[in-house]
Copies of this chain bind each other. A is one copy, B any other.
Amino acid sequence: MLAFECDYLEGAHEQILKRLMETNYEKQPGYGSDKYCESAKAKIRKACGCPDADIYFLVGGTQTNATVIAGMLQDYEGVVAVKTGHVNVHEAGAIEYTGHKVLTVPSHNGKMHADELDEMLSTFWQDPNHDHMVFPGMVYISHPTEYGTLYSRQELMEISEICRKFQIPLYLDGARLGYGLMSRSTDVTLQDIAGYCDVFYIGGTKVGALCGEAVVFPNNNAPRHFFAIVKQHGAMLAKGRLTGIQFDTLFTDDLYFEISAHAINMAEELKAGFAKRGYSFYLDSPTNQQFVILSNKEIDKLQKEVSFDMWDKVDEEHTVVRFATSWATRKEDIKALMDLLDKKDNIES
């Protein structure tokens, strides 16, 4: 059975498992004070071009979002996100559980428009009753978005400028950051992100690690006592080495970028394959998630031999489905999928 339903189907990149093996019996202190965390932080600081960055390793995405957002907001503040943002839809209310509202602006294939953000923030501050409302205290964007789309450098800069104008931090959720950075149609670098954002995370779980996300405060600007905040959120690993070793490996010899580029190559092949066969796409995704429109009949047939994610209904007879590639996708998987499409077409005709 072929599987393309998400980008966390396999374990970890082999190099990570190898390093876990090699270091297994070294005695390392807990809670992130081990030498691998230190080494990983140094490498990430270098990759980001931020020698003063504060870096913390957390375990998963929802946890990271809740910890960072609650850790940076005042009680009376909420976080601004697009309506389709992960924090607004698919985190089981983890943000609200910490007491903070998610304030929404429209989503454009997962992206926020700077001008709509500007208008939302201006409207709030001009409202004479804004003291009775939730203060927008932070902006959350994801890159790539939940739709696989990317901000351009210009767009990112514009959002960042709006945030600075209103003096609120910009937070970028990089659960799939590698796939964004290695997209063939991006002009955004890791250094750009470190420059435009006040905090962001580099996703490990979906990019080669077993688990783990690296939170980066680029300018030594972590909230005071962020360690205690992480602990309070249950996000502190006793064996911090687990995330330390993984990120140290990912940021050695550009492994993170290399495996991300591989996933992009696989996605481009998949995309080209579908396009060549006359399929249309829900949107033009430049990253590892591809959204294809299939007829429900095709879906029924395909699902017998390949798994993918049901995304959204188009009409009574068509559905958007998502095919995701990852660092672990093999060239032969793509070929097998294409063969399946060809075979299916034959059968169908």
Please tell me which one of the listed residues B1, B11, B233 contacts residue A24 in the complex, with CB atoms under 8 A apart. Answer: B11
Contacts of A75 in B (CB 8 A): 70-71, 97, 229, 232
A28, CB-defined interface residue at 8 Å:
yes
A314 at the binding interface (Cβ < 8 Å): no
Tell me which residues across on chain B come within 8 A of A132, comparing CB atoms: 31, 90-92, 228, 231
Min CB distance A72 to B, Å, is 10
Given contacts A27-B9, A92-B228, A97-B99, contact A60 B236 (CB under 8 A): yes
A17 touches B21 (CB 8 A): yes
Instruction: Tell me the complex Cα distance, A237–B237, Å.
Output: 13
A96 and B99 contacting across the interface, CB-CB below 8 Å: yes
- The reply to whether B238 and A60 form a contact with Cβ atoms under 8 Å apart is yes
On whether the beta carbons of A231 and B94 are closer than 8 Å, the reply is yes
B101, A237: Cβ atoms under 8 Å?
A: no
Q: Which of A165-173, A205-213, A271-279 contacts B (4 or more CB under 8 A)?
A: A205-213
The answer to whether A238 and B99 touch across the interface, beta carbons within 8 angstroms, is no
Query: Considering only CB atoms and an 8 Å cut-off, how many residues of chain A contact the other chain?
Result: 79
Q: Which residues of B contact A91 (CB under 8 A)?
A: 132, 231-232
**In the complex, what residues of B have CB within 8 A of residue A228's CB?**
76, 92, 131-133, 135
Query: Does A8 count as interface, using CB distance less than 8 angstroms?
Result: yes
Q: Which of A71-108 contact B (CB under 8 A)?
A: 71, 74-76, 78, 89-94, 96-102
How many angstroms between the C-alpha atoms of A99 and B100 in the bound complex? 8
- Can you name the residue of chain B whose Cβ is closest to the Cβ of A227? B131
Question: Which of B23, B27, B232 is the one whose CB lies under 8 Å from A97?
Answer: B232
Could you tell me the distance in whole angstroms from the C-beta of A29 to the nearest C-beta in chain B?
Answer: 8
Chain B positions within 8 Å of A31 at CB level: 132
| With A225-B135, A231-B62: A27-B11 Cβ-Cβ less than 8 Å | no
**Known contacts A20-B17, A101-B96; is A63 also within 8 Å of B25 by CB?**
no
- Can you list 17 A-B pairs, Cβ within 8 angstroms, ordered by A? A1-B27, A9-B27, A9-B28, A10-B25, A11-B24, A14-B24, A21-B21, A59-B60, A66-B234, A76-B232, A91-B132, A92-B229, A93-B100, A97-B98, A205-B238, A205-B239, A211-B237
- Given that A20-B11, A231-B94 are contacting pairs, would A242 and B27 also be in contact in the complex, using a CB cutoff of 8 Å? no
- A207-222 at interface with B (beta carbon < 8 Å): 210-211
Contacts A60-B234, A60-B236, A97-B99 known; 20 new A-B pairs at CB < 8 A: A9-B27, A9-B29, A11-B20, A17-B17, A62-B234, A66-B234, A67-B234, A75-B229, A76-B229, A76-B232, A91-B132, A94-B232, A94-B234, A96-B96, A101-B102, A131-B227, A131-B228, A210-B242, A211-B237, A234-B235
- Smallest CB separation, A261 vs chain B (Å): 20
Contacts of A70 in B (CB 8 A): 75
Query: Which of B8, B28, B133, B236 is in CB contact (< 8 Å) with A89?
Result: B133
Q: Do the beta carbons of A225 and B27 come within 8 Å of each other?
A: no
A338 to B61 Cα, complex, angstroms: 46
The CA-CA distance from A234 to B28 in the complex, in Å, is: 26
